[in-house]
Chain A
Amino acid sequence: MIPLVRLAGRSPCWIVWATKWTRPYSTVDVSGTLEKLASVPKIHPLLIQRAEVMQAEFKTIEAKVAEGNFEQELSIRFSNLSIILDNYNQYKSDMAAFDELKELISEEGQDHELVEEAVAEIEATIPQVQRSVQVLQSRLLPQQKYSDKPCILELRPGVGGSEAALFTEDLMQMYINFANTKRWKHHIVSRSEGNNGFVNEVIISIDDPGAFQALRHESGVHRVQRIPLTESKGRIHTSTAAVVVLPKISEGNESSLKEDERLFAPGEVRIDTMRAGGKGGQHVNTTDSAVRLVHIPTGITVMQQDERSQPRNKAKAFSILRARLAALEREKEIVEQRRMRTDQVTTTDRSDKIRTYNYPQNRVTDHRCGFSLHDLTGCMAGSKLEELMEKVEEHEFEQRLEELIAQERKA
């Protein structure tokens, strides 16, 4: 109150007193802050329950480690849990602090300055708490499979003929740009063209651990609406391209080849080499080194021919085959989980179109979360793609949360 008195030093004393006496309680408007406080997301009680269970587990593991048990699995679990619980404790202390501050400002007749300070503190810490809540939430949800793997992107034109092929190349460029902005290593594994000279398949490998986690929502049919370069009358066409995102399990070079080959039972994979007819041996000096793998149980076929060395082609083919098999397995698991649930969720099946690129309107819309980005050029240049992907991620996150809650409720 001293500064107030000093400020009013020149005016008659009674005014100061009158001011003070007519406002005996805080004048700071706290309703806005309270609203903001209420908007801070709370973690779902089920997840908190999960955290409590984890805490119990952590205690038992801690005891084991203290006894000198150093199994690899145990220590991994231990470090995982300790990170989660750190976050959880942080969250708990944050929430406790919030509660105290809330009490302080909502109480009648509090000291004016104290309330002001409390409000300032709350305002400053809200974004930080929001972030920590998000982190904790994503940690508490069960880990997605292969979330720490690099990825392989397969792009193929869908309906729309040559325009679809052109769009496929645009998409490829978009993902390469995106990888560049993220400073991720990447390379084109293979690229094949149809008889008409247009691309009919591109495979890119993005070699950052975590690339699969970031890009897995890109799987699906991407639709484009624009006036194609090949169109003479200026009509808008709609065409599509399919993107498949696979977790990259093996490196796809000679040293990974041996292990890859060992993984399959003899007779499980048929290896065809595309050699021309004739006598072979010294009679011909062909450079044809194409390799085709057929995985007999699933019928998956992989063909590689870009390298001059046959073992290298084979290694690449095996890497792609393993990635496809892993994706298949993951999909099966997801379907299985879905089947266990009763409520309906919009599918993320790859037969659905997931995104529309509308060139005339300079707009990209993701159909899963209904978000529209009004900067198509930025998206294709890779810089704005992340914004879009974040929205999808959020949407998917909510879905997974719902899924988890529904599961627990059933159990």
Chain B
Amino acid sequence: MPRISPRLVREALWHSRLLPPLLRANPEIAMAKQELRWIKNELPRDQWRDAITRRSKLEPLQYILGTQPFGELDIECRPGVLIPRWETEEWVTKLSNLVASRCPKKNIHIVDACTGSGCVPLLLNHQLNGQSDISSQIVGFDISLEAFNLANHNLARIDNSTPNVKFKQLNLFSESLVQELAVDEVDILVSNPPYIPKEDFYSSMYMNGVEKSVRLYEPALALIGENEFYEALLAQLILPMKIKAFVFELGYQLQVDFVKTFLEGKGWEVGSMNDGSGKIRCVLGWRKEMDFMQKLAEEKSS
């Protein structure tokens, strides 16, 4: 942890007595102030001190406040389940806008593998049912029981009435995955699988690694993985179920290349997509009948 200068502490103290501990998690005072304001806005007074102590030990603010905004939704977050990221929010929004405006099929079936808090199916459902005449059936699954419970909890919190979204507890690597999933037809497969290689998970932020707060508090189960997840997604779901399009989140060009070589000569088109800060974020593929998907991939070049 870099040393916090006494000057900065004094400056923080001048603003509020509660501010200095937050400097451990936020090197910049403006960000610390912002967090203090959110804590004050969203928690009752008697929990402030506790929240600040937890934050000073680098616990993610989302676990402390209990929620993370995701698109127009508020997703509840609990320790043991990955916090939804803004990059995911970004590509899910783009995808749902594209499907709503360009998809020729009006009743669309989507599966989300490694769903975690359930944020991706819930936002997709919200966006698709909110802005178009498309009806969607979405199934999300995750291996972790904690994630499964939280996803169901989020579903109940956000929209209990729609039977369009279902969650299951399934292992992506299971032999009988297709039977267990029990879905006849899938049009689009989406996933945000673990994609941080082990050596990066244990190295510092400055060495292409992960933030300390992520390493200390978020589940390694949802984070550590390399190509094996993409291989499983392709071999276990895409090919046997004859899925027509997919979008997977990832963090490395190598993973894009892996997916590309895996699908070479199998009648698939594969592209990649960058996030808002210009980093490689998604690989997507489509078969001929879903070629509107290339609109997402084209955004990479522009």
A residues lining the B interface (CB < 8 Å): 193, 197, 254, 273, 275, 278-289, 305-312
Name the segment of B46-54, B85-93, B103-111, B236-244 touching the other chain.
B85-93
B196 touches A283 (CB 8 A): yes
A282 to B208, CA, bound (A): 12
Q: In the complex, how many angstroms separate the beta carbon of A286 from the nearest chain B beta carbon?
A: 8
Among candidates A193, A282, A311, residue contacting B82 with C-beta atoms closer than 8 Å: A282
Which residues, 32 to 50 on B, are CB-close (under 8 Å) to A?
33-35, 37-38
Does chain A have a CB within 8 A of B232?
no
B143: CB under 8 A from chain A? Answer: no
Residue count of chain B within 8 Å CB distance of chain A: 45
Query: Is residue B172 contacting chain A, with contact meaning CB distance below 8 A?
Result: no
Q: Are B208 and A275 in contact (CB under 8 A)?
A: no
Q: Provided the pairs A280-B277, A285-B85, A310-B86 are in contact, do residues A305 and B214 lie with their beta carbons within 8 angstroms?
A: no
Contacts of A197 in B (CB 8 A): 11, 14-15
Q: Given contacts A280-B277, A282-B251, A308-B69, is CB(A287)–CB(B35) below 8 Å?
A: yes
In the complex, which residues 80-137 of chain B have their Cβ closer than 8 Å to any Cβ of chain A? Answer: 82-83, 85-87, 89
A-B contact pairs, 9 of them (CB 8 A): A281-B87, A281-B195, A281-B281, A282-B196, A282-B251, A285-B62, A287-B34, A308-B68, A311-B71
Name which of B31, B208, B218, B222 has the most chain A CB atoms within 10 A of its CB.
B31
Q: Is the CB of A281 within 8 A of B213?
A: no
CB nearest to A193 among chain B residues? B33
Bound state CA distance, A137 and B68, in angstroms?
55
Q: Does B279 touch A at the CB level, under 8 Å?
A: yes
Contact present for B211 and A275 (CB under 8 Å):
no
Chain A residue at smallest Cβ distance from B42:
A308
Pick from A193, A273, A282: contact of B276, CB below 8 A: A273
- Which of B61, B195, B277 interacts with A282 by CB under 8 Å? B195
How far, in whole Å, are A2 and B37 apart by their CA atoms in the complex?
A: 83
Enumerate chain B interface residues (CB-CB to A < 8 A). 11, 14-15, 31, 33-35, 37-38, 60-62, 68-69, 71-72, 82-83, 85-87, 89, 192, 194-196, 200, 205, 208-211, 213-214, 218, 222-223, 249-251, 275-277, 279, 281
- Chain A residues within an 8 Å CB radius of B86: 273, 275, 286, 289, 310
- Contact indicator A281/B279 (Cβ below 8 Å): yes
A312 touches B69 (CB 8 A): yes
Query: Chain A residues near B275 (CB, 8 Å)?
Result: 280-281
Quote the shortest CB–CB distance from B34 to chain A (angstroms): 7
When the two chains form their complex, are residues B276 and A275 in contact, meaning their CB atoms are under 8 A apart?
yes
- Contact B210 A284, beta carbon cutoff 8 Å: yes
For A285, the chain B residues whose CB sits under 8 A away are: 60, 62, 83, 85, 211, 213-214, 218
Q: Determine whether the beta carbon of A275 is less than 8 Å from that of B251.
A: no
Instruction: Determine the chain B residues whose CB is within 8 A of the CB of A308 once the complex forms.
Output: 38, 68-69
